[in-house]
Structure 1
């Protein structure tokens, strides 16, 4: 895997981004969220979780198990890297990466401090939802009909500290004016409030 690690000065923790789409996430189109987290002194690690060859196969969707395995490797790397090994780790999942993030949170319960899922498919990890311990925030657009219902079902199945935020007028891409700003604000607040991160 290839990844891009951003380390703001005096960083408090690191957010591992999990996206299961076939597009290159090293320079994500919605990296505004990352910039907001950086301003809050949170480092970010973006992964290109789907290889070029895999994108060329035009599979209907990536394997959640494979994405979770790659997240495991990234988590291992963060805990070995000199710049990040002492930092608490949080997860930001979207698309099919949301289900993979939940699987990682279950297998690494002592390592994951908080989870934010943006327009994701947490229902694909339905077997693990009740086992998630980390505080979990689900963010979905009100106009993203199929994913909205999936997130409502996942929210009901979660037994950890949880919250479901439905952004009025937003679609799956959150391209509508102001939508991404709301996503970023909610994610920042959740990470700072429900993890070991603390502003000093």
Structure 2
């Protein structure tokens, strides 16, 4: 039996070194880059749970800290979508040149403000991004111009008890002109802490990435 590959990585950006964990199952069908939200990190138990479920479905994952601990203490930096997008783009480029991930379709999974960065990056990179998933995200913060330019299939997942964020996601959904879906999980709050709700997130995300990674693989043959 071939074991899973796990690698602590340090990715240099212009102004910081991003620390992360790359994990790859044998023969992965794609790789998902996680963009954490404000106040979160690569150690987020929710994102790590989702990442674990993705790996069970034969996808690689890269979870990393887009901000240094010092930067993350600054509220204005946490909400600097341009900076988060730049750092996320550096990580995506790193995956494109890493021997074990260079040939794999790329997916983006964003939470909170990380969803805005994921969508801005998807808009900028066009066909390089195979699919995007947002969990309890703020896709509205990507801006209408970026949302209009996104071509990657995009899934927005929101908790049914997260009223204000539902409205913001509905507005972003209307601004998207790609293949898209909005799933509202009944009984879930912003952090999906209620029994079964995070499992639902992972199930929706897994199905979305598997389908679109498979489509990308077929089109490449």
User: How many angstroms does 1:151 deviate by?
Assistant: 0.3
Task: Tell me if structure 1 keeps the 8 A contact 2:71–2:78.
Answer: no
**Equivalent residues in 2 for 1:8-23, closer than 5 Å:** 8-23=25-40
Runs (5+) with no aligned partner, structure 1: none
For residue 93 of structure 2, what is the aligned residue in structure 1? 76
Larger RCO, structure (CA 8 Å, separation 6 or more): 1
Structure with the higher fraction of residues in helix conformation = 2
Query: Structure 1 residues 178 and 71, CA, compared in 2 at 3 Å: closer, same or farther?
Result: same
User: How many angstroms does 1:32 deviate by?
Assistant: 1.6
For residue 175 of structure 2, what is the aligned residue in structure 1? 157
Aligned residues: 197
Over aligned residue pairs, what C-alpha RMSD do you find? 1.3
Give the one of 150, 168, 172 matched to 2:186. 168
Higher mean alpha-carbon deviation, 49-58 vs 117-126, is at 49-58
Task: Tell me if structure 1 keeps the 8 A contact 2:71–2:77.
Answer: no
Runs (5+) with no aligned partner, structure 2: 1-17
**Equivalent residues in 2 for 1:78-157, closer than 5 Å:** 78-126=95-143, 127-157=145-175
Deviations 1:28-57 (Å, cap 9, x if unpaired)?
211221111001100000011121111233
Query: Structure 1 residues 140 and 197, CA, compared in 2 at 3 Å: closer, same or farther?
Result: farther
Task: Tell me if structure 1 keeps the 8 A contact 2:127–2:151.
Answer: no
Query: Structure 1 residues 83 and 132, CA, compared in 2 at 3 Å: closer, same or farther?
Result: same
User: How many angstroms does 1:192 deviate by?
Assistant: 1.0
Q: Equivalents in 1 of 2:199, 2:140: separation in Å?
A: 25
User: How many angstroms does 1:94 deviate by?
Assistant: 0.7
1:29 aligns with 2:40: no
Task: Tell me if structure 2 keeps the 8 A contact 1:106–1:131.
Answer: yes
User: How many angstroms does 1:197 deviate by?
Assistant: 5.4
Give the one of 76, 81, 90 matched to 1:64. 81
Task: Tell me if structure 2 keeps the 8 A contact 1:191–1:197.
Answer: no
* 3-state SS of paired residue (2:61): strand
